[in-house]
Amino acid sequence: MNKTADRIAAAAFLAVGALFMAESLRLSKSAYGSAVGPNVFPFLLGLVLVFLSIKLLFETRSYSDAADEKPPRQYKKFLVIFIAAVFYAALLETVGYVITTFLFLVIGFQTMEKGALWKSIAIAAGFSLGVYGLYVKLLQGTLPSWPIWFQ
């Protein structure tokens, strides 16, 4: 088990628990017709989470210090795809489903492995148009269609 990671996690969960406790103190303490207000359950849970985080913090002391060998990670690939996904989400409603999905997929495929551009384009186009056609035209669902300045 990774000592640093678990310490970070324990600290984060401790903060989350404390935050929920503090915030639930601001909630109304009573509810009409009920003896228990909406503040009780989150407060108790926050308390339990704080205790558990402290327990985890103590447990990390007995971890061995030797850092485990990590195999190389593909951070670059991941970052490109993740940022592309964030842009995909951000532009989905303004640029429309078909174009954003197509672009995201082409970028994704090419980031995973360069080359075979035409195949990537064909699969991306097939997926984005296929989903749009099936879902919007056939099933009458709602998806942002084309760019808003286009309509």
In the complex, which residues of this chain contact other proteins (CB under 8 A)? 1-2, 5-6, 9, 13, 16-17, 20, 23-24, 27-28, 31-38, 40-42, 45-46, 48-49, 52-53, 55-56, 59, 71-75, 77-78, 81-82, 85-86, 88-90, 92-93, 97, 101, 104-105, 108-109, 112-113, 123, 127-128, 131, 135, 139-143
Cα–Cα distance for residue pair 127/60, rounded to 1 Å? 47
Q: Shortest approach of other proteins to residue 123 CB, angstroms?
A: 6
Q: Shortest approach of other proteins to residue 117 CB, angstroms?
A: 13
Task: Kindly tell me which of 90 and 148 has the beta carbon lying closer to other proteins.
Answer: 90
User: Are 146 and 99 within 8 A, CB to CB?
Assistant: yes
| Structure tokens that stand for 104 in this block | 């995201």
Q: Shortest approach of other proteins to residue 1 CB, angstroms?
A: 6
| Whole-Å CA distances, 134 to 92, 116, 129, 140, 145 | 18, 27, 8, 9, 13
Q: Shortest approach of other proteins to residue 150 CB, angstroms?
A: 19
Cα–Cα distance for residue pair 58/71, rounded to 1 Å? 28
- The helix-helix angle for 97-112 and 117-132 (nearest 10°) equals 150
Task: Kindly tell me which of 33 and 65 has the beta carbon lying closer to other proteins.
Answer: 33
